[in-house]
């Protein structure tokens, strides 16, 4: 799959039935400039978030509210960037367990740095999104 919008729509279709029922982690990987933040922006837009979604590279975590069922309830979309983090403990200190307990949607950029630890998390729906971009062509793999 090469189109970010097309891939984002497919991801939203995959997660929509589970939103608010269990924590969902979208683990994004790919080199610098591949489009991880762009993918997050399109997913957020597809889910109805109208705020400007920005890269959390320097703040590490940006939360957004996602209104569901005509605004009757909300869940959090937590956008994390772990590129500058060196240990799993640092990731956990961002409040990851609370995000999981709250049944949030969690999007993690640079997730491949902590692939083993993320795969060992329980009580989550996990989707890996690998983005490759060579400056001309973008390839997106969802698994």
Mean pLDDT of 42-63: 89
What are the pLDDT digits (tens) for 24-37?
A: 999 999 999 999 99
Share of residues in the chain with pLDDT > 70 (%): 94
For residues 71 and 109, which has the higher predicted lDDT (pLDDT)?
Answer: 109
Tell me what the pLDDT averaged over the chain comes to. Answer: 92
- Where does the chain show beta strands of DSSP type E? 23-29, 61-68, 73-81, 105-109, 124-133, 138-142
In contact, 12 and 127? CB cutoff 8 Å: no
Q: How confident is the model at residue 46 (pLDDT cuts 50, 70, 90)?
A: very high
The residue assigned the tokens 């979208």 is 26
Whether the predicted pLDDT of 7 surpasses 60: yes
Q: How confident is the model at residue 55 (pLDDT cuts 50, 70, 90)?
A: confident
Residue 7: CB partners within 8 Å, gap ≥ 6?
1, 39, 129, 140, 142
Share of residues in the chain with pLDDT > 90 (%): 76
The pLDDT assigned to 135 comes to: 82
Mean pLDDT of 56-84: 84
């Amino acid at each position: 799959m090469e189109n970010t919008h097309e891939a984002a729509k497919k991801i939203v279709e995959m997660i929509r039935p589970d939103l608010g029922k269990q924590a969902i982690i979208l683990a994004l990987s790919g080199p610098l400039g591949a489009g991880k933040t762009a993918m997050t922006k399109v997913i957020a837009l597809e889910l109805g978030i109208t705020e400007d979604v920005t890269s959390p590279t320097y703040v590490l975590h940006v939360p957004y509210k996602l209104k569901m069922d005509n605004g009757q309830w909300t869940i959090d979309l937590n956008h994390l960037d772990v590129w500058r983090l060196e240990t799993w403990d640092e990731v956990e200190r961002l409040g990851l367990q609370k995000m999981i307990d709250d049944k949030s949607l969690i999007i993690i950029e640079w997730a491949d740095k902590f692939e083993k630890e993320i795969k060992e998390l329980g009580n989550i729906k996990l989707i890996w999104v690998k983005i490759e971009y060579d400056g001309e062509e973008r390839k997106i793999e969802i698994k």
